Chain A
């Protein structure tokens, strides 16, 4: 319990720091007054506006206000859309979550068995092939993979649509493109692009951990006791490879969000990533800062979940030994 409380405290500190960065970006890039007023506004009017926006308050007061607003989900008004930033993020979020979930689930389903297999039969032909593919998977830039997929499956073969999100359908109150064939066919290529990189990273990690564990004395002892391979590999070895793997998967979640930026651009997927690119192009600082805080939040929450899983899988943490 103490472990989780300490982590919760740390997470709060991390979020405050992320909010500080977001706030500083706000503070030092561009002048919000200049972006609100026209040429004819007098100096007095500007000063009055500055005062009414609270821009003359001490910086700590402004930071506290920013954090309080952010906690309540208020990130200000987007400069370029003139809309509530949190509303815009809520609009775009489902599309990105869709992609992230689809590719995350696929990469885990493929990476775990493949990683265990290549760890056990590392000299075999299939394992070598998997490793070669995985090194290309981690090397190929996702935008290049996306373009190649479009070239092959949309331009040459004309099998899959190359852009957009397709038809949406509502199931159990969730509105998503994953519930229609048309929507799925749109999501297939972007999800595959997002999936391949994660797949390579997680697969290689599981393989390395497996190799490390299979060398240890307790595994040798398990063999000596005459246990069948299935029990040695899955009962004894696999459990001890889990801690670093869970850490990596947790870390990968925020990078899935980051890489979705590129995938969304290539496939013109209307998610958070394309929103961020728009914000950068237009120097839309409130949107930029909100995105930053959002990704920080995703990371912090996924890390907390990872810590919770640690408690479940590692008895040393449960008994306060670490």
Chain B
């Protein structure tokens, strides 16, 4: 994979200002959200620091605003900007965590199916095909719904973030399995694999040390696209009230809270988290598009 980082990497990147801006947005969001306690002007979910007197403040540039709250406050007097940073942290954590889980499962399944072929391949790919029948968001939704039905409410609320990662990760592995299998089928007949077998390397070593590095390119592109999908899925589940609890809202849950006050003219509680979510997803999509075109110049 790393030999693909050709000498034209910087040339191509500098020729695509949209990609640079997207990459900067992603980096800024990751830093800003990871260190939310440092950057956030307030601690929005600590009842001791918020005051109900500050509720429904509009953003700082609108009449009647309080300069302490740059993007205004919600119904309970929580600072919207701080809530966004804390919420973005959960969105990014779930998005990246879920894709990491999908990659691990998908690569294991795809490598096994592609390398061994035969019955292993047939069984694994049939399972994948059946799961592929269902849109990932529906699987995550049903999985979440079933867990919610079978776990006690307090356990479910406490483990909300790991459960989301599990639900979204399990919903997304099929696509990784499919592309990894397809690439493995090509790689396993290459001369270098035959050579590895000839010198008697164990099968696991061949798969892990020799085949895996050669199939990482498409996995990387898909992973970036899937992070965007996972963030949207998480936001959607939270919006539906099935994701993160209201004491620890992600961006989707913030939008859901805001959407309840849409008709009272309080637009900032829903618009700003919405813009942040959209920027995050578009940025991941654009960078993934660029990486795909870079790795596969024929598409340009």
Known contacts: A141-B277, A258-B138, A262-B240. The answer to whether A300 contacts B133 by CB under 8 A is yes
The chain A residue with its CB closest to the CB of B228 is A139
Q: How far is the CB of B134 from chain A (nearest CB, A)?
A: 7
Q: Is A254 an interface residue (CB 8 A)?
A: yes
Q: How far is the CB of A187 from chain B (nearest CB, A)?
A: 20
Binary A-proximity of B225-248 (CB < 8 A = 1, otherwise 0) = 000100010011001111000000
The chain A residue with its CB closest to the CB of B147 is A29
22 residue pairs A–B, Cβ–Cβ below 8 Å: A14-B130, A17-B130, A135-B285, A136-B282, A139-B228, A141-B235, A141-B252, A142-B236, A143-B240, A143-B255, A155-B262, A208-B299, A254-B134, A255-B135, A255-B137, A257-B135, A262-B240, A266-B259, A280-B141, A280-B149, A281-B241, A283-B145
Interface residues on B, range: 35 or more
Q: Is A144 an interface residue (CB 8 A)?
A: yes
B146 touches A139 (CB 8 A): no
Partner of A285, one of B144, B149, B252, B267: B149
A135 touches B282 (CB 8 A): yes
The count of A-to-B residue pairs whose CB atoms sit within 8 angstroms is 113
B138 touches A147 (CB 8 A): no
- Beyond the given A144-B278, A254-B135, please list 13 additional residue pairs across the A-B interface where CB-CB is below 8 A: A18-B133, A30-B150, A138-B285, A139-B278, A143-B239, A143-B255, A147-B255, A155-B263, A257-B135, A259-B135, A262-B240, A283-B145, A295-B138
Q: Is B210 an interface residue (CB 8 A)?
A: no
Q: Is B281 an interface residue (CB 8 A)?
A: yes
Q: How far is the CB of B135 from chain A (nearest CB, A)?
A: 4
Q: By DSSP majority rule, is chain A's interface helix, strand, loop, or mixed?
A: helix
Q: How far is the CB of B155 from chain A (nearest CB, A)?
A: 15
Binary B-proximity of A262-288 (CB < 8 A = 1, otherwise 0) = 100110000000001101110101001
Q: Is A233 an interface residue (CB 8 A)?
A: no
Q: How far is the CB of B260 from chain A (nearest CB, A)?
A: 10
Interface residues on A, range: 35 or more
Known contacts: A138-B285, A288-B145. The answer to whether A18 contacts B137 by CB under 8 A is no
* A30: B residues at CB distance < 8 A: 149-150
